[in-house]
């Protein structure tokens, strides 16, 4: 938070009255960007601390009192409180950067617990007597024991740890894949990451407006885009060698009409001048501080342009469609190949992505993201084997485990690595490890739609339906990525809540044509709805197109739904459709 202002404090803390006034100031500020339950969270932890009950600020208590969770809430496996605490920390940080720069009292919620901390900002008056506040800064109940998961950020790819183990994994994978062991130093460099030059933004406003929003917005966009590892950001458009070498140019302008503001942005492909993405963003300076507006618009632009499935990656699908033809792939090209595969979900695109990533991990053995994506490509041979037509085998899970171990040894805090760790751990049956990795990944990059959706799926399939379904809904509403995948997740969410009509609506929206598991979900829903004639049509399709699934239903269901009661609800729907499932198979 504001390091320039809160490095020094008076020896005595704020009074209870001053703290209450500050909380009210924060909660009523438009610059405190938190939903209703987040505001309730902050008010509750402050009130409990002022009342001397900070020792009782546990995840279980907060979940029950603030979020209305039932007594069966399991704080070890449901991270809803940790996620909300992370959002509150970010909202408080933003508030003090934008609106609270001159506030006398600073409120934080230190990592590692839920107990708020109260301090005077430098230069604030000291109280006449000490504040009657118990400052128990470390809450023992917020205990992700693995400290590598508690503070997450976007790391570099070359954080090399555990070299002996990592090399052993590389050798094992190389042997298993029968790949040629060519020295990395002799390999050609491969295509580089895309380079994006950020042009100066024009400003159309009255001469007396005195606004520097265009310059500030451009600076914020540069800062947001610089966080993405898969692109190179060029901030100096005046240097000709940079401009000519860039793949894309981000252009824009800011228009003012009184207090109304409109920012226009577009992404132009330098090769042919084609506009591959454009959008307008409106705001009112009477409703928001200009710094807040700049930050919000910059984040929206950066996500639209550079996130997985964003404009740059969508545009580069031609490169991704034929990744293994030249033998000279970069790690970025293979990332595109994987993204292209996830959108098409065909055996051909999966094989191309897997082969590209195998080659990339040999050519760039210290690229953690390539190892993580390769791990998920292997895992998909189990997850989507009826769609991809892969055989029933334990080898893909072993290869996925080895690849994710290598990725973790290189960059344990990278969001994509944590996502792969979550996926592999889940399908190995280590649910606690999976959810810890998912929580850390989501905390590190909550704007990544694919990551949020996958984390939501893992939460839901683990029985944390409320938290998981909220994240699935967020991912779906972003309007990018694999919509059918999220839609079948929403169908399961409605099914488990007993809303069979809504479940059928969601299920029929998903991509049923070539996905047997999605059709199995619809079959269970139709059975629960008593629609036996329609259910019979789904059974006939499955018997023709996925006969192996029909003889292995219980194992596939138990591989995904972790709670026995959820499995039985799903199987009861199948029974009601007239289908007889086989006995539970061992994993």
User: Are 422 and 441 spatial neighbours (Cβ–Cβ below 8 Å)?
Assistant: yes
Report whether 231 contacts 196 (CB < 8 A): yes
- For residue 289, the tally of other CB atoms under 10 A from its CB is 14
Measuring CA to CA, which residue among 80, 87, 70, 106 is closest to residue 35?
Answer: 87
Whole-number pLDDT of residue 90: 84
Residue 156 has a pLDDT of: 32
DSSP secondary structure string for all residues of 406-443: HHHHH-TT-HHHHHHHHHHHHHTT-HHHHHHHHHHHHH
**Interval 427-467: pLDDT, tens:** 999 999 999 999 888 888 777 888 888 999 999 999 999 88
Q: Looking at residue 455, what is its pLDDT? A: 92
In this prediction, residue 132 carries a pLDDT of 37
Which tokens in the block code for residue 80?
A: 């809803």
Break the chain into its structural domains and give their ranges. 16-143, 159-187+316-412, 195-311, 482-587
Q: Is residue 192 a contact partner of residue 232, using CB atoms and an 8 Å limit?
A: yes
Sign of CA dihedral 509, 510, 516, 518: negative
According to the model, what pLDDT value does residue 211 have? 57
3-class DSSP state for residue 43?
helix
Question: So what's the pLDDT on residue 581?
Answer: 57
Total-model pTM = 0.63
The third-level CATH classification (topology) of the domain covering 195-311 is Rossmann fold (3.40.50)
Q: For position 479, what pLDDT does the model report?
A: 67
* 173, containing H or E segment: helix 163-177
What's residue 335's pLDDT? 84
What is the dotted CATH code of the domain comprising 482-587?
A: 1.25.40.10
What are the residues facing 196 on neighbouring strands? 233, 248
Q: Print the SS3 string covering 481-537.
A: CCHHHHHHHHHHHHHHCCCHHHHHHHHHHCCCCCCHHHHHHHHHHHHHHCCHHHHHH
Low pLDDT (below 50) residues in the chain: 1-11, 127-191, 208, 210, 319-327, 583-587
pLDDT of res. 496: 95
Token output for 205: 């406003």
336-385: pLDDT as tens digits? 888 888 878 889 999 999 999 999 999 889 999 999 999 999 999 999 99
d(CA 88, CA 32): 9
């Amino acid at each position: 938070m504001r390091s320039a202002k809160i490095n020094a404090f008076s020896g005595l803390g704020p009074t209870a009255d001053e703290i209450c006034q500050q909380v009210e100031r924060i909660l009523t500020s438009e610059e405190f960007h938190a939903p209703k339950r987040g505001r309730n969270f902050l008010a509750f932890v402050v009130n409990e601390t002022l009342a001397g009950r900070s020792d009782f600020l546990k995840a279980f208590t907060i979940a029950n009192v603030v979020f209305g969770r039932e007594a069966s809430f399991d704080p070890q496996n449901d991270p809803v409180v940790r996620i909300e605490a992370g959002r509150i920390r970010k909202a408080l940080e933003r508030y003090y950067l934008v609106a609270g720069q001159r506030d006398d009292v600073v409120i934080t919620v230190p990592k590692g617990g839920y107990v708020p901390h109260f301090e005077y900002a430098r230069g604030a008056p000291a109280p006449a007597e000490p504040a009657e506040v118990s400052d128990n800064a470390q809450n023992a109940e917020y205990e992700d024991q693995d400290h590598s998961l508690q503070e997450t950020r976007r790391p570099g790819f070359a954080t090399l740890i555990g070299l002996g183990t990592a090399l052993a994994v590389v050798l094992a994978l190389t042997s298993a894949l029968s790949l040629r062991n060519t020295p990395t130093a002799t390999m050609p460099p491969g295509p580089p990451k895309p380079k994006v030059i950020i042009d100066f933004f024009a400003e159309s406003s009255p001469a007396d407006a005195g606004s520097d929003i265009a310059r500030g917005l451009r600076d914020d966009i540069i800062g947001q885009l610089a966080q993405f590892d898969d692109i190179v950001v060029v901030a100096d458009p005046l240097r000709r060698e940079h401009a000519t070498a860039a793949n894309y140019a981000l252009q824009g302008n800011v228009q003012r009409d009184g207090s109304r503001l409109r920012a226009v942005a577009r992404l132009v492909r330098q090769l042919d001048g084609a506009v591959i993405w454009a959008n307008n963003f409106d705001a009112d300076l009477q409703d928001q501080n200009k710094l807040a507006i700049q930050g919000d618009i910059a984040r929206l632009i950066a996500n639209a342009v550079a996130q997985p499935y964003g404009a740059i990656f969508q545009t580069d699908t031609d490169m991704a469609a034929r990744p293994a033809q030249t033998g000279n792939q970069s790690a970025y090209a293979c990332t595109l190949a994987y993204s292209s595969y996830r959108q098409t979900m065909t055996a051909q695109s999966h094989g191309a992505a897997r082969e590209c990533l195998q080659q990339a991990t040999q050519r760039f053995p210290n690229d953690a993201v390539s190892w993580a994506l390769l791990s998920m490509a292997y895992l998909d041979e189990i997850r989507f084997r009826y769609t991809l037509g892969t055989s029933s085998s334990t080898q893909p899970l072993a290869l996925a485990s080895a690849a994710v171990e290598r990725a973790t040894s290189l960059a344990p805090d990278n969001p994509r690595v944590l996502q792969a760790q979550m996926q592999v751990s889940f399908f190995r049956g280590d649910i606690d490890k999976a959810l810890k990795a998912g929580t850390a990944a989501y905390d590190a990059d909550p704007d990544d739609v694919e990551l949020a959706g996958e984390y939501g799926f893992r939460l839901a399939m683990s029985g944390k339906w409320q938290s998981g379904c909220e994240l699935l809904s967020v991912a779906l509403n972003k309007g990018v990525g694999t919509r059918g995948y999220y839609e079948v997740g929403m169908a399961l969410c409605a099914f488990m809540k007993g809303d069979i009509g809504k479940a059928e609506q969601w299920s029929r929206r998903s991509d049923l044509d070539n996905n047997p598991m999605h059709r199995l979900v619809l079959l269970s829903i139709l059975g629960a709805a008593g629609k036996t004639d329609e259910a019979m049509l789904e059974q006939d399709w499955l018997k023709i197109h996925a006969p192996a699934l029909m003889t292995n239903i219980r194992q596939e269901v138990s591989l995904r739904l972790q709670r026995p009661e959820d499995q039985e609800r799903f199987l009861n729907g199948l029974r009601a459709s007239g289908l007889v499932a086989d006995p539970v198979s061992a994993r």
